[in-house]
Structure 1
Amino acid sequence: MLTNKIKVAGLALCLASSFALSAPASAFQETDDKAKKESSEDVNQQFATYVEALKAEAIESGYKQDTLDKAFAKVKYYERAVELDKNQPEFKLTLDTYLPRAVPDWKAEKALEKYNEHKELLEKVGKEYGVQPRFIVALWGIETNFGSFTGGFDVVSALTTLAFDGRREEFFKKQLWEALTIIEDGHIEPEQMKGSWAGAMGQTQFMPSSFMSYAVDYDGDGKKDIWGSYPDVFASAANYLSSVGWKDDVTWGRQVQLPEGFDESLAGLDTKKKLGEWADLGVTRFDGSELPSRGDIDASIVIPDDKEGRVYLAYANYDALMRWNRSHYFVAAVGYLSDRIRFPR
Structure 2
Amino acid sequence: MKHTLRFALLLSTVLATPALAQAPACGGNFAQFIEGVNAEAIAKGISADVAQNALRRASIDNKVLSMDRAQGVFRQTFLEFSKRSVSSNRMQVGAKKMNQYAKTFARAEAEYGVPAAVITAFWGLETDFGAVQGDFNTLNALATLAHDCRRPELFRPQLIAAVEMVGNGDLDPSGTTGAWAGEIGQVQMLPRDIIEYGVDGDGDGQVNLKQSSEDAIMTAAKFINALGWRAGEPWLAEVSVPSGNFPYEKSGLGQGMKLNDWTALGVSFRNGAPTSQNLPADLLFPQGRNGPAFLAFPNFSIYLEWNQSFIYTTSAAYFATRLAGAKPYEAGNPGNGLDDGAMKQLQQKLAALGHDVGKIDGILGGGTRAAVRAEQLRLGLPADGWPDQALLGKL
Measured after TM superposition, the shift of residue 301 of structure 1 is 1.2
Q: Do the aligned partners of residues 221 and 67 (structure 1) sit closer, same or farther apart at CA in structure 2, a change above 3 Å counting?
A: farther
Say if 2:73 and 2:81, in contact at 8 Å, map to a contact too. Answer: no
Q: CA shift at 1:91, angstroms?
A: 4.7
Q: CA deviation at 1:90?
A: 5.6
1:264 and 2:248 correspond: yes
Q: For residue 72 of structure 2, give the secondary structure of its aligned residue in structure 1.
A: coil
Change (3 A) 1:294 1:171: closer
Tell me how far apart the structure 1 counterparts of residues 31 and 275 of structure 2 sit (CA, whole Å).
63
Aligned equivalent of 2:288: 306
**Hey, what's the Cα distance between the residues in 1 that align with 2:100 and 2:313?**
24
Equivalent position SS for 1:298: coil
Question: What is the deviation of 1:142?
Answer: 0.8
SS in 2 for 1:190: coil
Conserved in 2, the CA contact under 8 Å of 1:94 and 1:309? no
Aligned residue-pair number: 299
Superposed, which structure 2 residues align to 1:73-84 within 5 Å?
73-84=56-67
Whether 2:265 is the aligned partner of 1:281: answer: yes
Cα 1:173–1:92, aligned 2, differ >3 Å: closer, same or farther?
Answer: closer
| Distance (Å, rounded) in 2 between the aligned partners of 1:249 and 1:293 | 11
In 1, Cα distance between equivalents of 2:200 and 2:275 = 41
Letter in 1 for 2:299: N
Alignment of structure 1 residues 43-82 onto 2, 5 Å:
46-82=29-65
Alpha carbon RMSD of aligned pairs, Å?
A: 2.5
Does the 8 Å contact 1:47/1:164 carry over to 2? yes
Cα deviation, 1:67-101, whole Å, max 9, x if unaligned, reads: 12331243222011112222332654332222110
Say if 1:149 and 1:341 are closer, same or farther in 2 by CA, change over 3 A.
same
CA contact (8 A) 1:82 1:162 kept: yes
Which residue of 1 is the match for residue 190 of structure 2? 207
Matched, 1:338 2:337: no
> What is the distance in 2 between the residues matched to 1:337 and 1:82?
30
Q: Distance in 2 between matches of 1:220 and 1:283?
A: 47
Whole-angstrom CA distance in 1 between matches of 2:104 and 2:161: 29
Partner of 1:93: 76
Q: 2:303 aligns with which of 321, 331, 341?
A: 321
When residues 249 and 57 of structure 1 are mapped into structure 2, their CA distance, relative to the original with a 3 A threshold, is closer
Question: What do the CA deviations read for 1:146-190 (whole angstroms, capped 9, x no partner)?
Answer: 011111111111111122222222322111112112222333333
Q: Is the Cα contact below 8 Å between 1:121 and 1:231 reproduced in 2?
A: yes
Structure 1 residue aligned with 2:134:
151
Task: Please state whether the residue corresponding to 1:183 is helix, strand or coil.
Answer: helix
Letter in structure 1 aligned against 2:55: F
Query: What amino acid sits opposite 2:285 in the alignment?
Result: I
Match of 2:125 among 133, 137, 142: 142
Structure-2 residue corresponding to 1:37: none
Secondary structure of 1:158's counterpart equals helix
Q: Which has the higher helix share?
A: 1
TM-score between both structures, scaled by the size of structure 1: 0.78
Cα distance change on mapping 1:135 and 1:192 into 2, 3 Å? farther
Counterpart residue identity of residue 284, structure 2: V
Q: Distance in 2 between matches of 1:198 and 1:93?
A: 20
Equivalents in 2 of 1:196, 1:246: separation in Å?
A: 25
Shift of 1:64: 1.0
- How far apart in 1 are the matches of 2:230 and 2:41? 40
One-letter code of the match for 2:259? L
For 1:307, give the aligned amino acid.
R
Distance of 2:302 and 2:75 partners within structure 1: 25
Tell me the equivalent position of 1:232: 215
* Superposed displacement of residue 335, structure 1: 2.7
Shift of 1:199: 0.9
Distance 1:165 1:323 in 2: 23
The C-alpha deviation readout for 1:245-298, integer Å capped at 9, x for no partner, is: 2233233211112333333332233134332211112222259xx955632432
Report the CA distance shift for 1:251/1:293 in structure 2 as closer, same or farther (over 3 A): closer
One-letter amino acid of the counterpart of residue 313, structure 1: L
> Which secondary structure does the structure 2 equivalent of 1:245 belong to?
coil
Q: Distance in 1 between matches of 2:103 and 2:41?
A: 43
For 1:162 and 1:209, locate their aligned partners in 2 and report how far apart those are by CA, in whole Å.
15
Output the amino acid matched with 2:267.
V
2:128 counterpart letter in structure 1? N
CA distance in structure 2 between the aligned counterparts of 1:339 and 1:242, rounded to whole angstroms = 18
Call closer, same or farther: CA 1:286–1:119 in 2, change over 3 Å: closer
8 A contact 2:50–2:167 mirrored in 1: yes
SS in 1 for 2:95: helix
Kindly state the Cα deviation for residue 57 of structure 1 after the two structures are TM-superposed.
3.6
Deviation for aligned residue 1:227: 1.6
> In the alignment, what sits opposite 1:179?
162
